[in-house]
Amino acid sequence: MAIYDNAYSRFIAWLKIILPLVALGLLSTLFLFSRGIDPSQTIPYADVDIDELVREQRITSPNYTGMTDDGTAVSFFAESARPDPDNPNLLTAVALKAKIEAPSGLQVDISSEGGSINSTQRQSVLSGNVEVETSSGYEIFTERLTAALDGSLLETARNVRAQGPLGMIEAGKMVLELEDADSDTYLLVFKGGVKLVYTP
């Protein structure tokens, strides 16, 4: 190493040695002290059960729409639907929603947590917090509802609570059906003991 006569040059000479060493040190920390890569830890895949998916067919967000001959549009939506293993015509669905638009202008929206659609019996059963909303201002809450696929009949299985222009209604059962086969006016009938509270 050359000998310099003044301090400044010596200082620079020392720097030329120390600084690269420090740089080397910094570089090595990049590799030497890095977290150990644990090869056994799996990469976080979505934990969907692959073989369950393979074993059964599943339709995601299925959509069933139909138009009856008297012009009523019926449509069913769901998050996912699975055919029943032993009955191919029975579909069990999750978060089933249905919409009926009648030519008379009445619109009925039904939503539920789940349900099944049976194409042989031409009907669908919605269960779990079923909510029915009609364009005539009625909101009906029940646990189980059977809906005909052609939209001509809705029938609840157990008691019903409803809110509408008339006020708060509680009833044993509710049926929404056509007045008679060829008319297009729907009748909302509460049966099995009705209690209505109307505040003027």
Partner 1 sequence: QSAQVAFGGLQHDSSLPVEVVADQLQVNQTDGSAVFTGNVVIGQGTMRLSAAEVQVEYTSAESGTAGRISRMLASGGVVLVNGGEAAEANEATYTIDTGSIVMTGDVVMTQGQNALTANRMVIDLNTGTANMEGRVRTILQSGSNN
C-alpha 1/C-alpha 73 separation (Å) is 95
Residue 198 touching partner 1 (CB under 8 A): yes
**For the chain, how long is the longest CA-to-CA vector?**
117
Among 104, 113, 128, 131, contact with partner 1 (rule: CB under 8 A): 104
Asked if 189 is part of the footprint of partner 1 (rule: CB under 8 A), the reply reads yes
CB of 141 to partner 1, least distance (A): 16
**6 to each of 9, 13, 15, 22, 123, how far by Cα in Å?**
6, 11, 15, 25, 101
Smallest gap from Cβ 165 to partner 1, in A, equals 4
For partner 1, the closer CB: 18 or 197: 197
By CB under 8 A, residue 61 contacts partner 1: no
Backbone angle region of 153, left / alpha / beta, with phi > 0 → left and psi within -120 to 50 → alpha: beta
- Candidate list 165, 180, 181, 182; residue touching partner 1; CB under 8 A: 165
Among 94, 106, 148, 157, binds partner 1 (CB under 8 A): 106
Of residues 132-161, those binding partner 1 (CB under 8 A): 134, 136-138
CA distance 146 to 158: 11
The single residue among 73, 86, 166, 180 that binds partner 1, judged by CB under 8 A, is 166
Q: Looking at 10-18, 20-28, 91-99, 192-200, which segment touches partner 1 (CB under 8 A)? A: 192-200
Calpha distance 141→161 (Å, rounded) = 5
Question: 3-class DSSP state for residue 49?
Answer: coil
State how far the Cα of 115 lies from the Cα of 50, in Å rounded to an integer.
24
Q: Should residue 176 be labelled a site residue for partner 1 when binding is judged by CB under 8 A?
A: yes
Q: Are 81 and 117 in contact (CB under 8 A)?
A: yes
Which residues of the shown chain bind partner 1 in the complex (CB under 8 A)? 104, 106, 134, 136-138, 164-167, 169, 171, 176, 179, 185-200
